[in-house]
Amino acid sequence: MPEGNTATNYERGAVVTHYSTADAIAFAVDFLRRRFWILFLSVLFGATLGVLYLVVAPTSYVATATLGLDSRVFQLFPQATQAKSLGEQAIDSVPAFESQLEILKSENIALKVITDLRLAEEPEYAAGPQIPFASLFLAPRTAESEPRRTHNALRVIEKNLKIKRVGASYLVEIQYESLNPENAAKVANAVADTYLADQLESRYKATRLGSSWLEQRIKELRNQLAQADEDVLAFKAANTIVDAGGGRLITDQQLTELNSQLTAARAKTSEAHARVDQIYTIMKEKSISGATIVNVAGDDQAISKLRSQYLELAAREDDFSKKVGPTHLAVAKLQTQMRAIDAAIQVELRRLFETYRSDFKVASESEKYAEARVQQAVLQSQASNAAQIKLRELQATAQTYKSLYDQFLHRYTEAYEQQSFANTEARLITRATMPFEGNGRKRLAIAALTPFLGLLFGVALGALRDFMDRGFRTSNQVETLLNTNCIALVPLQKASKLRKKSGEPVAPGVRTFSPDQSVTWTVLNEPLSRFAEAIRSVKLAAELNRVSSPSRTIGVTSSVPGEGKSTIAAAIAQSVGQNDVRVILVDLDLRNPTLTRAVSPEASRGILEVLNGRDKLEDVIWKNISSTMAFLPAVVEPNSVPSSEILASSAMRKLFERLGAEYDYIIVDLPPLAPIVDVRATTDFVDSYILVVEWGRTYAAVAQHALSRAPNVHKKLLGAVFNKVEIESLKRYDGDRARYYHDKSYARYGYSE
């Protein structure tokens, strides 16, 4: 990932890094630089395949047939609001049209085409779809079994058949691509014809199934209607319900007539009662001159005649009384006659009273009888009305069955007519013709696509290489992941085959050594090299750190063995010793004293003998004949001493206190951090540490884990030295600073690679 402009947080050992757009672009450029040859070869390989495909790939031909789909689809029962014939309904949605396209692409259509054209017997189809370039290396194989050949032919048709809609219209293009132009046109037309036949057959089957279902349903409805009519008649008979015509029941008509009779009887009773009251009043008044008797006399001729005679005698009596006086004999005679007539009227009134009273009784009895019949009729009518609810329900059920029966009978007639003349909404607009020109655009497109596929493959391969590369590649990675400064980038040095032996002692008890041509002595042999300049950067960092805090003892360690820590420790000591500063290089890698074997391979005594008291310090120290640098070796057998206990002992601390009094700098070559715990035992007498990280080899996770297990070492860490850096390759990982590593200005100051 890009190394510049990153913000990092350390929480529980995790690293969270945020990258900007510029960082992403820089990372892409760096990726292109370091994986250029992988990308270039991948693109070249893809382009070669594309050219090869153009040369050897056979020419294909495309034939096109056009279908027109009407704006209707089959439906057995259309909506009631649509005035259309059976099986028609408008398509007004994209899904309905897409359904027809999927039917055209279905395996059912393809299998029928394969069967009709016997495509499974042709080699082009029986072998199945061919992989590009496979024909260059493998001969096409034909399946032996019929199902396998059919399956292969189906896969070929599905691959080469293209169904698409023409714009927003109801037209469909059927395109088929084949190596044989005649086959291309034949298959395209076969797909169209098979689809039309399939639609016609499906319409016929649907209509036939619908007619059969309608016929069965009509029989059921006929039986249900007959049963409903029988239920209505049986219910009427059981409840004595008779229709009087006009929708009225006989009980209702009888009740109406009885009401009329009751009304007449009541009127007659009232009339008779009134006459009885009148006669009774006249008889009670005993006066034939009142207004009441006038009405009675008008109805009876005898009373009327007697009343007339009485009134005539009363007039004569009144006239005689005025003429001859009331006591006259003639007046008395008239009064006698009047009394006789009044008695006769009273007799007639009593006779008439008895007659009217008899009529009143008869009328009353008739009224009571009429009332009884009306009450009986009301009860019968109420029972009939209660039964009417159930009767109406039965009649409604019967009417419903009748309506359904009529509708289904009508639908059955339509379906039967459609069955005799089935049609389809699709029609073939244009039949496919045999193409005369090959489809070169597809070949060119594939050939043009292969370089891009090669590029993608190269990017994937390069990304895989980057993913597998778990080591440190830039100084920013070291600083970010280890949370420390990268104080120097030490270039990779190739060891010379020439080598000189260490010098012999110039005096008894004094051992000396001189530089040879090995990598260990590059600082002295090539003082103007990048390697020497990098070591001087480390020395300067140590001196600056000494200003701020006393740091005389500097330990050099690494995460794992083989990262060059011993070489870096020796180089730092050489660089310090060139300035007439008293410096001693101590080999404390007691289990693997690599530095001792490189500087003084002839040494037979070392630091362990000093700690044990068998030798004095000055007797085991080796001195450089050309500088102030001294060396304290470690002469031990590998894995033969308890190194951690020795490093943590009080004798070791006292030894370093003595070395600190005699020397200005103490450079200590320590064991690696990850395998053993020795370095953690040195924190009492080592002032600061330098961590050596090998370029591209030290795993970041291992280095992080090693430092996390040694917090006191990490706390005293002066910085990290990026060792064995391949400067030419570094620019592919840290492109932003490529000129910094390769600027020609270095040569102007005498620096060499």
Span 20-55, pLDDT tens digits:
777 677 777 777 777 778 888 888 888 888 888 777
d(CA 539, CA 566): 15
The phi, psi pair for 686, rounded to 5°, reads -100, 125
pLDDT at 213: 81
Domains 248-396 and 475-742 fall in the same CATH topology:
no
Q: 3-state SS of 112-174?
A: HHHHHHCHHHCHHHHCCCCCCCHHHHCCCCCCCCHHHHHHHHHHHHHHHEEEEECCCCCEEEE
- Asked if 25 and 735 count as a contact pair (C-beta separation under 8 A), the reply is no
What DSSP line would sit under 47-89, residue for residue? HHHHHHHHHHSPP-EEEEEEEEE-SEE--SS--TT----TT-E
Q: Phi-psi category of 562—alpha, beta or left, where left has phi over 0 and alpha has psi -120 to 50?
A: left
The full DSSP string for 285-342 is: HT-SSSHHHHHHHHH-HHHHHHHHHHHHHHHHHHHHHHHH-TTSHHHHHHHHHHHHHH
Domain spans of the chain?
Answer: 1-32, 33-209+424-449, 248-396, 475-742
Helix (H, G, I), strand (E, B) or coil at 507: strand
What is the pLDDT confidence band of residue 671, given thresholds at 50, 70 and 90? very high
Where residue 311 falls among pLDDT bands split at 50, 70, 90? confident
High-pLDDT (> 90) share of the chain, %: 8
Q: Which of 400, 339, 454, 329 is nearest to 38 (CA)?
A: 454
Structure confidence at residue 221 as a pLDDT band (50, 70, 90)? confident
Residue 700, pLDDT > 90, answer no
Residue range 524-553: mean pLDDT, rounded: 79
Residue 299 binned pLDDT confidence (cut-offs 50, 70, 90): low
Residue 22's alpha-carbon distances to 1, 18, 27, 472, 739, in angstroms, are: 12, 12, 8, 22, 19
pLDDT of residue 429: 84
Residue 15's pLDDT is: 41
The whole-number pLDDT of residue 448 equals: 80
At 297, the pLDDT band (50, 70, 90 cuts) reads low
What band does 744 get if pLDDT is binned at 50, 70 and 90? low
Say if residue 13's pLDDT is above 50: no
Tokens (6 digits) for 98: 């897409």
φ, ψ for residue 607, nearest 5 deg: -65, -30
d(CA 419, CA 675): 91
CA dist., res. 126 & res. 122, Å (int): 6
Average pLDDT over residues 185-192: 88
Can you give the length of the chain in residues? 753
> How much is the CA Rg of the chain, to the nearest whole Å?
66
The second-level CATH assignment, the architecture, of 248-396 is Orthogonal Bundle (1.10)
Which residue in this structure is represented by tokens 């029972």? 383
Cα dihedral 316→317→319→323 (10° resolution): 130
Taking residues 70-83, report their average pLDDT: 48
Confidence check: pLDDT of 510 > 60: no
What integer pLDDT is reported at residue 301 of this predicted model?
Answer: 73
For the ranges 126-130, 222-226, 455-459, the lowest mean pLDDT is seen at: 126-130
pLDDT exceeds 50 at position 610: yes
Contact 293, 310 (CB under 8 A): no
* pLDDT confidence of residue 500: 42
State how far the Cα of 751 lies from the Cα of 491, in Å rounded to an integer: 13
Better-scored residue on pLDDT, 706 or 391: 706
Structure tokens at 281: 């009043």
Specify the pLDDT at position 460.
Answer: 83
Average pLDDT of span 165-173: 84
What pLDDT is stored for residue 247 in this prediction? Answer: 53
Choice among 99-113, 471-485, 633-647 with the minimum mean pLDDT:
633-647
Confidence of residue 133 (pLDDT cuts 50, 70, 90): low
What mean pLDDT, rounded, does the chain reach? 77
Type of residue found at 396: A
d(CA 717, CA 691): 7
- Per-residue pLDDT, 528: 77
Three-state DSSP string of 578-623: CCCCCEEEEECCCCCCHHHHHHCCCCCCCHHHHHHCCCCHHHHCEE
Range in 182-191, 329-338, 742-751 with the lowest mean pLDDT: 742-751
Q: Which two tokens stand for residue 124?
A: 């082009």
Classify burial at 111, counting beta carbons within 10 Å of its beta carbon; exposed 0-12, middle 13-18, buried 19 or more: middle
DSSP conformation class of 629:
E
147 versus 142: the higher-pLDDT residue is 147
| Model confidence at 76: pLDDT above 50 | no
The 8-class DSSP code of residue 710 comes to -
Residue pointed to by tokens 């009305």: 385
Q: Round to whole Å and give the CA distance between 303 and 309.
A: 10
135-139, 491-495, 745-749: segment of lowest average pLDDT: 135-139
Residue 70 scores a pLDDT above 70: no
Residue with tokens 């590593």: 741
Per the DSSP assignment, residues forming a β-bridge with 162 are 175
Q: What is the spatial distance between Cα 225 and Cα 398, in angstroms, rounded to a whole number?
A: 6
Q: CA-CA distance, 608 to 620, in Å (whole number)?
A: 10
CATH number for the domain whose boundaries are 475-742: 3.40.50.300
% of the chain at pLDDT higher than 70: 76
d(CA 730, CA 408): 89
Note the pLDDT of residue 351: 81
Q: Which residue has the higher pLDDT, 600 or 261?
A: 600
pLDDT band at 8 (very low <50, low <70, confident <90, very high): very low
Average pLDDT value for residue range 518-537: 80
What does the pLDDT read at residue 244? Answer: 54
| Cα separation, 455 vs 40, whole angstroms | 8
Under the banding of pLDDT at 50, 70 and 90, the label for residue 14 is very low
**Nearest-angstrom CA–CA distance, 651 and 189:** 101
**Mean pLDDT value across residues 55-64:** 79
Asked if 125 and 114 touch (Cβ cutoff 8 Å), the reply is yes
Choose the weakest-confidence range: 26-35, 100-109, 124-133.
124-133
Beta carbons within 10 angstroms of residue 22's beta carbon: 12
Taking 50 as the threshold, does the pLDDT of residue 80 lie above it?
no
